[in-house]
Each structure stands twice: as structure tokens, then as C-alpha cells.
Amino acid sequence: MSSLHSDAILERLMSLHPKVIDLTLGRIERLLDLLGHPEKKLPPVIHIAGTNGKGSTQAMLRAGLESAGKTVHAYTSPHLARFHERIRLAGTLVSEPMLASLLEECEIVNGQSSVTFFEITTAAAFLGFARTKADYCLLEVGLGGRLDATNVIDKPLLSVITSVSIDHQQYLGNTLAEIAGEKAGILKRGVPAIVGPQQDESLHVIEVRAARLGAPLKIHGQHWHVFEERGRLIFQDEDGLLDLPMPVLIGAHQVQNAGIVIAALRSLGFSEDVCAAAVTQAEWPARLQRLRKGPLIDAAPHAELWLDGGHNEAAGHALAEALGRLPARPTHIICGMLNTKDIAGYLRPLTRCAQSLHGVSIPGEAATLSAQDTVTAAKKVGFQAVIAMDVVSAVQEIANSDPNSRILICGSLYLAGNVLRQNG
């Protein structure tokens, strides 16, 4: 089957529900019932929620488990270049024939019943996972936790909550406590959970829910600690101290994510070697990813090009800190964001590490912030900012005026995906 087959089905599935995001479990529970409950036939599940760091945490967990010879399913969203990236069956991205077949089966069973795109594609992933042998299944929450389509697993092996911060307020609530309550919705009775660094307000909500469910917690700062010392990653818990290489993913936030992963692997009984592999062998595109080849590199042969998909205030701080770790070099930003995001909160931390900003619109995204609005917001927080037609012309303009600079393309996973497709 050609990739047009799955693309055509995905296109049809988009029309089954009027809202892209509509959080409830009723529709997916109905569909899974019609499909014979594949969610009850999965390998042991590790369920991951949080505001920032879910994808990096999943990537490191997968690297560690696979280094131990385990086969691993993984579910993530959104995709960057192709939908197939969302579903990894026993270590391999879902093939086009398999994806088309799974989607078609779900479409036929569902008929014209109302179901969101995320719900029906999650059901398709569960079907694939249930029919393919693996040792573990890593499920990343799409949005929130409590009412997310992935939250139909009664008894995961382990729950993981990465750091919680303000994002998606229109769906999850306006306060940190409300948002943490949604994330804590993945906790299950008696199922242990690893909890990453949290503000007090979030942690209180998570602890209260866990106590009600009898879910044992291993919490950063209480049961385990992680820090950087002399260029090494130091992890300590009740079982002792690990002195490991620094994560291959750059930034203080990745040190924290690595701590979550090590705590998870230790709780599952894995060795120090597996923990080391987790942090050194993970690959996660568009998380401060260095671009090394393709048309964009050809347009700026002497520049360093980096790509990042973070898009909220916490991501802006993490990105600024990570950039500060790189050797000093004049830095210019190309930014495109969605109009639902706090652009000032995201950009403000970046003013201390970049000379200028080119604002772009995200191609093909109805909810893109216009290049003009991005530039206006950037100027308000202190950037020298100009509009660019697109990413390629922005790269060329920067390369012409500052050939040996560092160029960071950032602001949205949708923009990052567009760049990765353009750049081959």
C-alpha cells in the first residue's frame, strides 16, 4: 500500500468529531469495546504524563530497556514529519501497510460515530500493540492525563509524572493545582509512580491523590536526587549512588528527566549499565537537535543550525539554559508559534542568549500566530525582531549578515516538523 492510503484514512478520521480536542473517556471506551478490548492485552505498560519532558523521558526509557535486550512498544504525539512516528511496534516504527490496516479496521468498526482523531488513532495503536509481542509498552499521554485517551489502562506496571507547569489552560485549568490534578489522573490504585521535580502546589495535589489510591510514590528530592557534578550525572536513592555520563540530550532539564528515567529503571530492577545506556543512547528529534545536512545547511554552510519544539514558558527557560551550555557564538532565533501559547513567557528567557529574532508563520497551520504578531511580541520583551517570509529565507538572511553564527529554529513542534520534512 502507498503512504497515500494511510494519509487518506487519517484525513477521513479528522471529520468524525467537530472538535480537535474534547477530553472524555466515553468515546474511546465504546470503540475499544467494539474492538474486543485491545487495551487489556498489552505488554506491561509504563504510562507517562507531565507538562514538559514526557517525550525525552520516553526516549531515554526506551533506550535503556532496549539496551537490556527488551522489546519495547512506544506511543507518542504529536508526530513531527510523518504520522508513523507516533507508533513504534517492538522497537520499529509502524509500517505503512500495518498502519493503513489498523486505521481501516478502526474506521470500519467505528462507522460514523463521533470520535476524535486522537481517540481513534490511539485505539489503532492499542490494536497494533496487542497483536505484536513485546516486553514493555511505553504510553505517553496526549493532553492532561485524567481524561486523555491513553488513560484506559486499568493496571499499568508503573506511572511516571514529569514536571508540571502552566500550559493548555483552556483544557486543563488555570492554576498549577488544577493542571497537576489532571496529570495525577493517571495514578492507579496500588500502582507505583515516579514523580519528577515539582513545585509545592503540584506535588501536594499528586501526593493527596496517591495517598487516596494507595499508590506508592518515589519523589524527586525525597526518595531520589539527581545533579550534575564535574561533568558527570550523579544519581542517589535509597539503594545507593550512581556516577554516570551526562545525558546526550542537552540541558539541566534533561538532567532532571534522566533522573526520572533512572528512578524508573531502578524501581524495575535494572542495572547501572542500563541506566547509563538510557541517558547516553537516547535519540529525540526537535529537542535542541543539531541539524547537520540538508537544504537548510546548504543555505548557511558556516553556521550552526539547531531545532527545538518546546513552546511554553518552562520550555523557554530550559532552552535558554541549554543554549548557555554551548560554546559562545552569536545566536539568532527563527520563531513560529501557535496562537494558543504564551509567546511572551516563552521568549523572555531567550532574550539573554540571542541577538535577534526572525518571526515566521507556521505553514499549513490554521492556528499559527502570524509572523507580524510574533515580531510584535518579541519586540515587547526586548528582541530586535523582523518578519521573514519563511524559514529558508530567514536562514539565508541570517547567514548573509552573520555567516558563522548559531541559528535556532524554535517555538512549536509543528514548525519543527515542517522544518524536518523540508530538510529531508
Residue 264 belongs to domain with CATH number:
3.40.1190.10
The answer on pLDDT for 10 being more than 90 is: yes
* Number of domain units in the chain: 2
- pLDDT of 100 reads 97
> What's the CA gap between 397 and 387, in Å, rounded?
11
144, three cell numbers: 492532561
pLDDT tens figures, 270-279 = 999 999 999 9
Residue 253 and residue 228 in one domain: yes
The Cβ-side half-sphere exposure at 369, using a 13 Å CA radius, reads: 25
Q: Are residues 260 and 134 located together in one domain of the fold?
A: yes
Of 226, 256, 281, which marks where a domain is finished? 281
- Alpha-carbon span 254 to 208, nearest angstrom: 27
Let me know whether 259 and 315 are in one domain: no
- Specify whether 223 is located in the same domain as 333: no
Whether 298 and 277 share a structural domain: no
Could you tell me the three cell numbers for 134?
Answer: 513485546
Q: What is the pLDDT of residue 42?
A: 98
Q: What is the mean pLDDT of the chain?
A: 95
Domain boundary among 281, 305, 336: 281
pLDDT exceeds 90 at position 18: no
pLDDT at res. 167: 67
Residue 45 host element (H or E): strand 45-49
- For residue 200, pLDDT over 80 is answered with yes
Domain end residue (candidates: 227, 256, 281): 281
pLDDT band at 17 (very low <50, low <70, confident <90, very high): confident
Q: Does one domain contain both 261 and 399?
A: no
CB atoms within 10 A of CB 160: 30
Does residue 317 have a pLDDT over 60? yes
pLDDT by residue (tens digit) across 133-154? 999 999 999 989 999 999 999 9
Q: Using CA atoms, how far apart are residues 410 and 419, in angstroms rounded to an integer?
A: 10
Residues 103 and 227 both lie in one domain: yes
Residues 25 and 140 in one domain: yes
Strand ranges, E, within 349-393 = 356-359, 384-387
- Total H helices, total E strands in the chain: 16, 17
Exposure on the CB side of residue 290, measured as CA atoms within 13 A: 10
The letter for the amino acid at 154 is D
The three three-digit cell numbers of residue 391, written as one number: 524559514
301 and 255 share a domain? no
Distance in angstroms (rounded) separating the CA atoms of residues 231 and 226: 13
Domain that holds residue 377: 289-422
Residue 173 confidence (pLDDT):
67
> Are both 39 and 180 inside the same structural domain?
yes
pTM recorded for the entire structure: 0.90
Coil, helix or strand for 46?
strand
Residues 260 and 400 in one domain: no
Q: Looking at the structure, do residues 177 and 28 belong to the same domain, yes or no?
A: yes
Assess whether pLDDT exceeds 90 at residue 22.
no
Segment 26-52, tens digit of pLDDT: 999 999 999 999 999 999 999 999 998
Per DSSP, the residues of 93-159 read EPPHHHHHHHHHHHHHHHTT----HHHHHHHHHHHHHHHS--SEEEEE-SSSSTTSTTTT-SS-SEE
Residue 77's nearest CA partner among 24, 25, 119, 43 is 119
pLDDT for position 171: 60
**pLDDT tens digit sequence for 114-130:** 999 999 999 999 999 99
How far is the CA of 19 from the CAs of 2, 26, 70, 114, in angstroms?
A: 29, 15, 38, 10
Q: What phi and psi, each to the nearest 5 degrees, are found at residue 362?
A: -85, 115
Find the CATH number of the domain harbouring 351: 3.90.190.20
